[in-house]
A and B are shown apart, each in its own frame.
Chain A
Amino acid sequence: MTEHESCRELLQGLSAYIDNEASENICREIERHLEECDNCRIMLDTTRKTISLYQTIDRADQMPSGIEERLLKTLHIDDAWPGTGDDASIETS
């Protein structure tokens, strides 16, 4: 197998490896290849970093206050939380 083919195989298995879903055999092959191939090690590290950067910005995006209130009003249930015990059915029209 050429070096490029090994790198391509690693790329195809990269997601499963990152998610700990690759089989033991595949993990061993990937780790062996990573020891010899700097480029693929960088590919793995930068892909992990990419995911983690998106997770960080996503956690910072909270729903602005006011949206839930407007939503409950639109759905005509703004008086139902916290529980007021009204059993009237929901209007959705």
Chain B
Amino acid sequence: MDKENPASIEALQTGDREAYARMVELYSPKIYRLVLRMVDDPLEAEDILQETFLNAFRAIQKFEGRSSLGTWLYRIATNQALMHLRKRSPTLVSVDEPIPGLDDPDQMRELVDWCCLPEEEFMTTETQAKLKEAIQGLTPALKTVFILRDLHHLTTRETAQILDISESAVKTRLLRARLQLRDALSSYFTELVKETDND
């Protein structure tokens, strides 16, 4: 994420309302997309967006510039979204799905190459729903890393800073998230390949 002009940080810290509005304009679409993907509920995403900027405004004096302003905002937003997810199911213990081939090498099974499906098969409403269902099936820990790294293109280091975890934990979670999503989609796409072959 780009480093901001120190003058804009100074403007924010002196309460410059135009600088606040500029920060909202610059970051709110990204933050909204991030939290919407995390909580999968537009109304809740809007609440989290508001909480994020309210918290940021309250805490801006404490911002020391060790990370970029964007990374700092992402950190606040991610924490808010994770808190919402915990409130939804406070007693639920998240467990990662075992990944065939990775957790047990003997489970490696014959795979079907579904990349060859016609492009329009990937665009159907049913496929889009399947994609959303699969990502919501990830534990919050895996989902957050996947969203930050693969959808928002943050670096491993930025993601580690946002989540306050090690870079190696980011890499492990990203691998598990990608493979779990691939696995979740594969049974659906494999059926489509079979149907296409039978036509």
Binding site for B on A (CB under 8 A): 2, 4-5, 7-8, 11-12, 14-16, 18, 39, 42-43, 45-47, 49-51, 53-58, 61-64, 67-68, 70-72, 74-75, 77, 80-81, 83-90, 92
Contacts and interface: CB of A to CB of B under 8 A. Distances in A.
A80 B17 contact: yes
Contact of B21 (A51, A54, A77): A77
Interface in B21-77: 21-22, 24-25, 28-29, 32-33, 36-37, 42, 46, 49-50, 53-54, 57-58
Given A15-B175, A54-B135, A92-B58, A67 B32 contact: yes
Interface residues of B, number: 53
Contact of B101 (A7, A56, A68): A7
Nearest to A13: B175
A92 B24 CA distance: 14
Contacts of B115: 45-46, 49
10 contacts: A8-B105, A54-B131, A54-B146, A58-B151, A63-B32, A64-B42, A77-B20, A88-B15, A90-B17, A92-B57
Contact of B15 (A42, A62, A84, A89): A89
Contacts of B9: none
Contacts, number: 147
Dominant secondary structure at the A interface: helix
Given A75-B20, A87-B17, A90-B20, A51 B105 contact: no
A83 B24 CA distance: 13
A57 B128 contact: yes
Contacts of B108: 4, 7-8, 39
A50 B20 CA distance: 37
B112 interface: yes
A7 B105 CA distance: 8
B185 interface: yes
Contacts of B21: 72, 77, 80-81, 83
Contacts of A77: 17, 20-21, 24
